[in-house]
């Protein structure tokens, strides 16, 4: 077994934290702890998975597996106990989390607040569930912990005392965040109540974490803070620069909340690091980012988990500790890599069934990575709930239906029934999207076909079309897309006037589990009415004026731009660039923020030799995602066409730096270097390209030419020439075969 590379590991989760907000604050000296952490460690973007839904993502972080393996498929699941739904539970997770594996290996292990962490698992340490911090009653009434919120049960009273109630958030705590709090009319504006609730919940988790670090022995601790995500959902539309339609007075009151949320987390981080000590390895991660600039959506789709449209595809990672590089950037990390990396830090093997990889680039010296087929096959007490406490939600639902039909249980009311149907359907839809995201359309197809039979919602048909496209069934995909374009779905029912014109800050707070929104009160304010009846775990109302918000919501929910985009992609692949461009430009007009849209537009312009237009499109793509390797590759190709070889080389280097497995990036680099008179470096780049993509004909041609130069290897030149010829021959045969099949 390899030597452990860490004595202790502290894993800190900041939901939705994003370098786009944190980096400027660090530059201004306003997040000194995070700045210090990355100065003495590594930092990078952490690519998320789709769908970008936090319960699924945090369980992928904890297991190193995609959701189809770990079993957490959304926010809600059927509850046989009530006949309704409940927040997804730890008993639904099918595989071991990192804290279970470490428990099994005898490490003292604590976990706090993790998504889908209720009931608390019996780990070799302390487990505090995600229902722990929620206040279920006003401050003057008892607010007992829900059963199962703390393990071991003997510490229940201790941890109950460590909680903070929203009603305990005083002016002294509020004014540094919201100096103009006194100007708020709390009868109309519930922003302060939302603020107090989020702050109290996160302080409760922080108190529990610092108590453990101060008093208890530990080898591993995972602690999750939802604050940044919740503050952003509630207040990001009031973050500078002021968005169109946001009243100036409202903006002035709440404009600093998001930045202060980051600074608050930085202060919490400082305490955690001090308590953890210098010998601890610290890993800070977020599951996704959050649009904070011109890409902030102005409306939210009126569908379950609709606010996920505010999430950005890159979260953050920072790591510091013995054996970890100092002041370096790492590239290409995904949230699936976190658990395999922690296992390696402890000198433990990585499961071959894990979908992530070890972040070897973060280590001073390449660590020895060992593997076993699966941790699931390793017997022993691992701190999971007993197998008989875990039950497939679909089977549980069948039992409930049977008991209702027999007359032994009250039938669920209409709302509950509807909520159960939605939860089951969304879980299937999310699973289908996991399969699409991991390029397994064959598994997604039956799920999507079943969902579409029961609902004609555009988003389901969109993904069915995408699934057919990925399966090479272009005709079927086009048929669905043509239907969506010709018969655009009706916009969702506009919000009621009162809701649409709601000028409330913080109205978009994620609904806490069990419909218990904490009933947050501050100065006697009631919580928002009606939230607990929503089938969706989140509700959002923007501050944009009603009509504008309505139009934006309709646009955000519209399937047409997306359908046009995919139709454009199909036309492009069929060689019809006129049609492709027409579709893509219509999509751009309707929704210029569609992911990958500008890359496709750029590629189409490149094929049409409209180089300047292509450059503009790739630069637009970079405005949306500055870390897009494909956009930098596109610019490299543009510069090659423009014969600006130095620029082409630089863009190619950025592209392969962001994503090493990018064969066309290495190819472009090779072309630029060859033209710049660096044949040896060009040869290395081309060899890398063809090793990643052996069918890259032009790569072999370039290598043949370079090796044929004086001082080259003529045998290699000959081999590459023959390979290129063979590949071309095969390609012609394939084209002929397709033509005759048609």
Partner 1 sequence: MIVIVSGVPRSGTSLAMQMLDAGGLPVLSDGLRAADTDNPRGYYEWERTKGLAQQPNIIAEAEGRAVKVISSLLLALPQGHDYRVILMLRPLDEVLASQTVMLRNRGTGGPPLAPAAMLAALQAHLAQVNAWLRGRLDLAVFRMSFHDLLADPPGQAERMTRFVGLPLDVEAMARQVDASLHHQRSRAVEDRA
The nearer residue to partner 1, 86 or 519, going by C-beta atoms, is 86
Least distance from partner 1 to the Cβ atom of residue 394, Å = 9
The nearer residue to partner 1, 80 or 430, going by C-beta atoms, is 80
Phi, psi at 111, each rounded to 5°: -140, 135
The nearer residue to partner 1, 215 or 399, going by C-beta atoms, is 399
Least distance from partner 1 to the Cβ atom of residue 92, Å = 12
Least distance from partner 1 to the Cβ atom of residue 197, Å = 25
Q: What gap in Å lies between CA 202 and CA 223, rounded to an integer?
A: 11
Q: Does 439 bind partner 1 (CB under 8 A)?
A: no
Q: Does 414 bind partner 1 (CB under 8 A)?
A: no
Number of residues that bind partner 1 (CB under 8 A): 25
Q: Does 516 bind partner 1 (CB under 8 A)?
A: no
Least distance from partner 1 to the Cβ atom of residue 267, Å = 38
Torsion of CA 722, 726, 728, 729, to 10 degrees: 140
Site for partner 1 in 672-691 (CB under 8 A): none
- 109: nearest Cα among 37, 11, 13, 203: 11
The dihedral sign for the CA sequence 80, 84, 88, 89: negative
The nearer residue to partner 1, 399 or 737, going by C-beta atoms, is 399
Q: What gap in Å lies between CA 435 and CA 417, rounded to an integer?
A: 27
Q: What gap in Å lies between CA 159 and CA 668, rounded to an integer?
A: 58
Q: Does 417 bind partner 1 (CB under 8 A)?
A: no
Q: Does 399 bind partner 1 (CB under 8 A)?
A: yes
Q: Does 405 bind partner 1 (CB under 8 A)?
A: yes
Cα-to-chain-centroid distance, residue 133: 23
DSSP, collapsed to helix, strand or coil, labels residue 372 as strand
SS3 for 554-607 is HHHHCCHHHHHHHHHHHHHHCCCHHHHHHHHHHHHHHCCCCCCHHHHHHHHHHH
Q: Does 408 bind partner 1 (CB under 8 A)?
A: yes
The nearer residue to partner 1, 146 or 679, going by C-beta atoms, is 146
The nearer residue to partner 1, 86 or 720, going by C-beta atoms, is 86
What are the structure tokens assigned to 515, written together?
């419909």
- 419: nearest Cα among 393, 439, 391, 382: 393
x-or-dash pattern for partner 1, window 140-169, by CB under 8 A? -------x----------------------
Contact with partner 1 (CB under 8 A): which of 24, 30, 50, 82? Answer: 82
DSSP lists the bridge partners of residue 372 as: 351
Q: H/E element holding 663?
A: helix 663-675
What are the structure tokens assigned to 713, written together?
């290897």
Q: Does 728 bind partner 1 (CB under 8 A)?
A: no
DSSP, collapsed to helix, strand or coil, labels residue 10 as strand
The nearer residue to partner 1, 387 or 741, going by C-beta atoms, is 387
Q: Does 136 bind partner 1 (CB under 8 A)?
A: no
Contact with partner 1 (CB under 8 A): which of 173, 369, 409, 692? Answer: 409
Q: Does 529 bind partner 1 (CB under 8 A)?
A: no
The nearer residue to partner 1, 391 or 725, going by C-beta atoms, is 391
x-or-dash pattern for partner 1, window 52-81, by CB under 8 A? ----------------------------xx
Q: What gap in Å lies between CA 564 and CA 580, rounded to an integer?
A: 9
DSSP, collapsed to helix, strand or coil, labels residue 171 as helix
Neighbouring CB atoms inside 10 A of 714's CB total 11
Cα-to-chain-centroid distance, residue 179: 33
Contact with partner 1 (CB under 8 A): which of 83, 133, 340, 568? Answer: 83
The nearer residue to partner 1, 364 or 410, going by C-beta atoms, is 410
Site for partner 1 in 338-397 (CB under 8 A): 385-386, 388-389, 391-392, 395-396
Q: What gap in Å lies between CA 374 and CA 376, rounded to an integer?
A: 5
What are the structure tokens assigned to 500, written together?
């649409």
The nearer residue to partner 1, 138 or 146, going by C-beta atoms, is 146
Least distance from partner 1 to the Cβ atom of residue 153, Å = 9
The nearer residue to partner 1, 100 or 313, going by C-beta atoms, is 100
Q: What gap in Å lies between CA 15 and CA 114, rounded to an integer?
A: 10
What are the structure tokens assigned to 143, written together?
């607010």
Contact with partner 1 (CB under 8 A): which of 32, 146, 328, 403? Answer: 403
DSSP, collapsed to helix, strand or coil, labels residue 240 as coil
The nearer residue to partner 1, 111 or 400, going by C-beta atoms, is 400
Least distance from partner 1 to the Cβ atom of residue 189, Å = 33
- The radius of gyration of the chain's CA atoms, rounded to the nearest angstrom, is 27
Residues in touch with partner 1 (CB under 8 A): 80-83, 147, 385-386, 388-389, 391-392, 395-396, 398-403, 405-410
């Amino acid at each position: 077994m390899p030597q452990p590379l860490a004595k202790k590991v502290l894993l800190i989760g900041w939901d939705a934290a994003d370098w786009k907000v944190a980096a400027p604050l660090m530059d201004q000296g306003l997040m000194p702890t995070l700045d210090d952490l990355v100065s003495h460690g590594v930092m990078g973007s952490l690519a998320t998975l789709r769908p970008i839904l936090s319960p699924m993502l945090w369980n992928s972080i904890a297991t190193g597996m995609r959701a189809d393996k770990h079993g957490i498929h959304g926010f809600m699941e059927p509850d046989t106990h009530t006949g309704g739904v409940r927040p997804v539970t730890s008993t639904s997770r099918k595989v071991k989390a990192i804290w279970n594996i470490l428990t099994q290996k005898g490490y003292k292990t604590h976990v706090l607040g993790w998504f889908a962490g209720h009931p608390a698992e019996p780990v070799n340490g302390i487990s505090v569930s995600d229902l722990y911090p929620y206040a279920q009653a006003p401050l003057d009434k008892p607010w007992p912990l829900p059963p199962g919120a703390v393990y071991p049960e003997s510490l229940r009273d201790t941890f109950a005392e460590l909680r903070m109630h929203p009603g305990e958030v005083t002016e002294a705590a509020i004014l540094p965040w919201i100096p103009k709090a006194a100007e708020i009319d709390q009868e109309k504006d519930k922003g302060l109540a939302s603020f107090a609730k989020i702050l109290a919940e996160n302080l409760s988790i922080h108190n529990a974490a610092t108590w453990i670090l101060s008093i208890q022995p530990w080898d591993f601790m995972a602690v999750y803070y939802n604050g940044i995500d919740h503050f952003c959902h509630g207040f990001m539309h009031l973050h500078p620069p002021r968005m169109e339609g946001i009243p100036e007075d409202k903006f002035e009151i709440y404009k600093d909340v998001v930045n202060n949320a980051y600074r608050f987390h930085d202060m919490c981080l400082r305490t955690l690091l001090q308590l953890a000590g210098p010998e601890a390895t610290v890993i800070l991660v977020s599951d996704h980012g959050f649009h904070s600039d011109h890409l902030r959506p102005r409306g939210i789709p009126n569908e379950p988990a609709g606010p996920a449209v505010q999430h950005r595809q890159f979260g953050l990672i920072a790591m510091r500790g013995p054996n970890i590089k100092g002041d370096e950037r790492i590239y290409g990390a995904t949230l699936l890599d976190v658990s395999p990396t922690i296992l390696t830090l402890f000198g433990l093997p990585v499961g071959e069934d894990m979908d992530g990889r070890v972040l070897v680039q973060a280590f001073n010296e390449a660590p020895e990575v060992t593997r076993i087929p699966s941790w699931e096959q390793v017997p022993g007490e691992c701190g999971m709930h007993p197998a008989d406490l875990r039950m497939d939600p679909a089977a549980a639902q069948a039992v409930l239906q049977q008991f209702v039909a027999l007359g032994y249980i009250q039938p669920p009311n209409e709302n509950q029934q509807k909520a159960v149907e939605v939860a089951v359907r969304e879980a299937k839809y999310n699973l289908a999207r996991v399969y699409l995201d991991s390029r397994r359309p064959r598994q997604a197809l039956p799920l999507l076909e079943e969902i579409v039979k029961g609902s004609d919602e555009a988003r389901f048909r969109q993904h069915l079309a995408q699934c057919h496209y990925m399966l090479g069934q272009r005709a079927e995909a086009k048929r669905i897309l043509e239907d969506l374009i010709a018969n655009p779905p009706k916009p969702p029912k506009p919000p009621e006037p009162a809701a649409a014109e709601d000028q409330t800050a913080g109205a978009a707070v994620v609904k806490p589990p069990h419909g218990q929104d904490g009933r947050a009160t501050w100065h006697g304010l009631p919580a928002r009415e009606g939230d607990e009846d929503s089938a969706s775990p989140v509700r959002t109302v923007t501050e944009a004026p009603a009509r504008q918000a309505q139009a934006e919501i309709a646009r955000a929910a519209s399937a047409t731009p997306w359908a046009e985009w995919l139709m454009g992609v199909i036309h492009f692949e069929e060689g019809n660039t006129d049609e492709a461009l027409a579709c893509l430009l219509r999509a751009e007009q309707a929704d210029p923020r569609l992911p990958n849209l500008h890359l496709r537009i750029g590629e189409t312009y490149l094929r049409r030799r409209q180089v300047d237009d292509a450059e503009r499109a790739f630069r637009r793509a970079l405005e949306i995602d500055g870390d897009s390797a494909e956009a930098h590759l596109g610019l490299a190709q543009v510069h090659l066409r423009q014969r600006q070889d130095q620029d082409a080389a630089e863009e190619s280097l950025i592209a392969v730096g962001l994503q090493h497995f990018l064969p066309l990036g290495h190819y472009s680099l090779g072309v630029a270097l060859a033209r710049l008179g660096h044949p040896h470096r060009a040869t290395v780049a081309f060899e890398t390209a063809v090793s990643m993509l052996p069918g890259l004909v032009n790569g072999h041609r370039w290598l043949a030419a370079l090796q044929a130069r004086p001082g080259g290897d003529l045998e290699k030149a000959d081999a590459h020439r023959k390979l290129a010829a063979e590949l071309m021959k095969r390609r012609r045969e394939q084209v002929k075969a397709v033509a005759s099949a048609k």
